[in-house]
Structure 1
Amino acid sequence: MHEMFLAFFFLFCCGSVHGWGLPYDVVEEFHNDLLQNYSKRLRPVKDQTRAVEVTVHWQLESINTFHEVSGEFISTSTFMIIWTDELLQWNVRTDIYLYVLLNSGEIWNPALMVSNPSGNENIGKRLTTGKVRGTSDGKQFVTVTVMTSTTCQPDMDLYPFDRHDCTIKLASSDYIFNEVFITPVDDSDISDLVDISQWDVLETYTNNGTEVLSSVATFGVIFRRKPEFIIVNLLTPIILLCFLNLAVFLLPPQSGERVSFSVTMFLSFSVYMTLITEKLPITNPVSIFTKYLMCNVGYSALILFTTVIGLRFHMAKIDEQMPVWLSKMFCTCRSTCMKDKQSATTKEYEINITTTNTEYGDLHTNRCVIKDTNIPTMQDNGHSLTKMEFGVMLDKFFFAIFFAMLVIANIVYGVYIISV
């Protein structure tokens, strides 16, 4: 932006036709002489085969709003538009200084407009109704500060750690590239931008090219979301709900609350899914956060299904047995199962008994082993396993499996976000 300030400093310090001690009639005479035989219908070059070089200095003032769903990027920018009008040149005299102030409607202007608008744009109107400062060598300066609303394709793949690249494109509405050629200059200073609560500006850039035979100047902004709000209000509650969902396997089956608890957790995930889809655009591919939330919905549905299956075993009769082959399989997996009832239920206790020889007064210690065969066990019939016991084993098994799945899924999600 320092080039713009230097240009203004040069203009104001060097005086004007409205400068010190110049009477009104002198200024009016100078305007009339300058605009005599001037036609704004023609491009202001003596060789009409040459293009008018238009330089646009751009300073981004702030990002006002970015609508992810509609793809609308609203920002405030200051543009200084400079071109050379070879028909508005004069010799510097002692009573006439280096620049003159003219109405935009009196002279030719490049008729710039926003070529990717999402709403009403007013740059063209400001160019035709504002003021133009012209120097003796024909340089024309117009400065406008406008709020632009442009289209922008959102990139929601890493939401809520997403970043976007939005542009403001300026083109001439009346001339093609070999008649008016636009050169953009980036004077933006990121450190001077007005801070907004939701976005951080990372980079600004410019480039030029042609679109449909018109010269187009592109002013780009790369910015990213501040994710703290989404993490606190969406991501953290979802992770907590996932761990809370595991508590269904800790609830006593006799309480009758297991199914209702699982259904409540599933509906909670469905509500969060609805909230997220309202905030995100319909794009392909969908964001990784949407995929993560969808996996959690499926995770909750799977827990609900296994809860219902487990309750069928808990609600069985006390003496109802599992099939022999299934009992053998689980006993094999569990190291506590023995081949027969005696070895599985007998426990030995070793105690020391001290006796005294009354004749000589000596102390003798005898070691005694006691066997207890009355220890209760769930394998009273060899390899048999009741359905209630099998339900308890399922609860432990599913709790471990789902806990491991949850931890691994969150680690993978975090590593993917960090790596990208």
Structure 2
Amino acid sequence: MSTKTPCRYVLSLITLLLCESFSISSDIDTLMEFYNTLKELPLSNIRPVRNQSHVVTVYIDLILHSVVSYDEKTGTLSSVIVVNMTWTDELVRDYFSKEFEDEVPIPVSLIWSPGFSIYNTVTEDISLKISEIQLHKNAFLSPDGRMRNLIVGLSTTKCDANMFYYPMDEQRCEIHFVSEEPFNKVVIRPTRGMYLGGSTALQKNEEWEIADVTCKTDMISNYSKIIISFKMTRKSMHLFMNFVVPLMYLCLLNLFVFLLPESSGERVSYAVTLLLALILYLNMIADRLPNTAPVSLININIVIQLNTSCFVVLMTILTLRMYEKSQTDQPVPWFWKVFVSVTSAKCLRKPQRKIHVINVKEAEVKDEKEDENDDEEVQKSFDNKTGVTWVDVSRAANQFLFWMFFVLLVIQSVVFFVLLMCRPVPL
């Protein structure tokens, strides 16, 4: 009895292997017959319903894979989109064997597949740009007749930029997918009425933070449409450090022109150099921003600082002319004396007396060496210096202008940063 038991096990094992091999060969034959049947049938041009008056409902899950690039100047968005389409194919289901329990791959060229176009594209190609490999990929058919097809492609769409809060701006972009067949034949809808791709992109972008990704349906003429919408928030630290901070330093350096001594001879060249730097800065910002409204806050701020810098150059020239008048005998008008008395923190009488004594001593020395005509000219110069001089007027004007432009710079900076930080949340 012990010798027969191993033989029975061997026979049963051989029988099991033969059955499995027969089943595998039978499945292969069934699949080959199924594929040959599909090749003979023109199903790729017929909507997958027995009654052609019925509507085919295609459920589409649009997933934002990544944002490749965004050109603010042209308003062009390049993004990678994953499209997962599901529909019921009644015609293929009639030829599908119920013996298969798993999904069966079917070449897309042999069956009907829903077509859609990108409505807001900016290129000649209105469909997703996919690789040659994906053109020959398979769709998957379930035993219940549900067909599933996955497409990954690149879309180039229009997304107008609102650069008012640049470089801390937020952009709202949309990608419109429109069915290629009328509403009475094909209807496209989001999968289960909701977005399954998540609230952000699958892959992060170096410059933009993607959030609030939604998917909704709409109609355009007689065609159904699905819109994928998302918000892009700029990662602004890099641009803030390279654009906003240097601008503040340039504006601050523009004030120190009034602290330079008049005798140095570098005041006008210093002010003009800063003016040219602001003009170059404005051109550099203008090259990055689109030529559309609204104008960005940083652009408005640079224009204001540019006008302020022009006014600084003008005031620098005028204060230097005041300083040069001290070499002449031109008297100081009364309103400049009032200006000096109001803006000066120290009384000018005491230092003036010392100057007068020195001038008297110099006049006495000159009396010994010069004639009487020279004595009269020295006396006239001495009389003109008994009050406020043009040097005092120049220094008082420089002090007043420094604090005036400093206050204006603080006010402009506070308003700029308040408007930049307190931007409204886009709908």
TM-score range, shorter chain: 0.7 to 0.9
* CA distance in 2: counterparts of 1:125 and 1:331, whole angstroms: 79
Matched, 1:157 2:164: yes
- Residues 100 and 38 of structure 1, relative CA distance in 2, 3 Å threshold: farther
Contact 2:212 2:230 in 1 (8 A): yes
Contact 1:176 1:214 in 2 (8 A): yes
The structure with more strand, counted as a fraction of residues? 1
* CA distance in 2: counterparts of 1:114 and 1:328, whole angstroms: 73
Contact 2:343 2:400 in 1 (8 A): no
Aligned-partner SS, 1:322: coil
Aligned-partner SS, 1:397: helix
Aligned-partner SS, 2:91: coil
Match of 2:50 among 46, 57, 62: 46
Matches within 5 A, 1:16-165: 22-33=26-37, 39-90=43-94, 95-119=99-123, 120=125, 123=128, 129-165=136-172
Deviations 1:93-117 (A, max 9, x none): 6633343321112111211222222
Match of 1:323 among 319, 322, 333: 333
Contact 1:208 1:218 in 2 (8 A): yes
- Residues 125 and 333 of structure 1, relative CA distance in 2, 3 Å threshold: closer
Q: How many residues align?
A: 369
- Residues 37 and 194 of structure 1, relative CA distance in 2, 3 Å threshold: closer
- Residues 57 and 191 of structure 1, relative CA distance in 2, 3 Å threshold: closer
Match of 1:389 among 377, 387, 392: 392
Which deviates further from its counterpart, 177-186 or 228-237?
Answer: 177-186
Gaps of 5+ in 1: 1-18, 339-343, 347-372
* CA distance in 2: counterparts of 1:386 and 1:295, whole angstroms: 34
Contact 2:200 2:213 in 1 (8 A): no
Matched, 1:216 2:221: no
- Residues 37 and 197 of structure 1, relative CA distance in 2, 3 Å threshold: closer
Q: Give the match for residue 292 of structure 1.
A: 301
- Residues 145 and 128 of structure 1, relative CA distance in 2, 3 Å threshold: closer
* CA distance in 2: counterparts of 1:125 and 1:234, whole angstroms: 38
The structure with more helix, counted as a fraction of residues? 2
Gaps of 5+ in 2: 1-22, 357-381
Match of 1:180 among 177, 186, 191: 186
Q: CA deviation at 1:395?
A: 0.2
Contact 1:63 1:76 in 2 (8 A): yes
* CA distance in 2: counterparts of 1:332 and 1:259, whole angstroms: 27
Deviations 1:139-191 (A, max 9, x none): 11110122222111111110000111112221123x12222211134222357
Contact 1:77 1:147 in 2 (8 A): yes
* CA distance in 2: counterparts of 1:106 and 1:116, whole angstroms: 30
Q: CA deviation at 1:128?
A: 6.0
Q: Give the match for residue 417 of structure 2.
A: 414
Q: TM-score, normalised by structure 2?
A: 0.78
Contact 1:121 1:149 in 2 (8 A): no
Q: CA deviation at 1:121?
A: 5.6
Aligned-partner SS, 2:157: strand
Q: CA deviation at 1:381?
A: 7.3
1:228 partner letter = M
Q: CA deviation at 1:392?
A: 0.8
Q: TM-score, normalised by structure 1?
A: 0.79
Aligned-partner SS, 2:149: strand
Q: Give the match for residue 7 of structure 1.
A: none
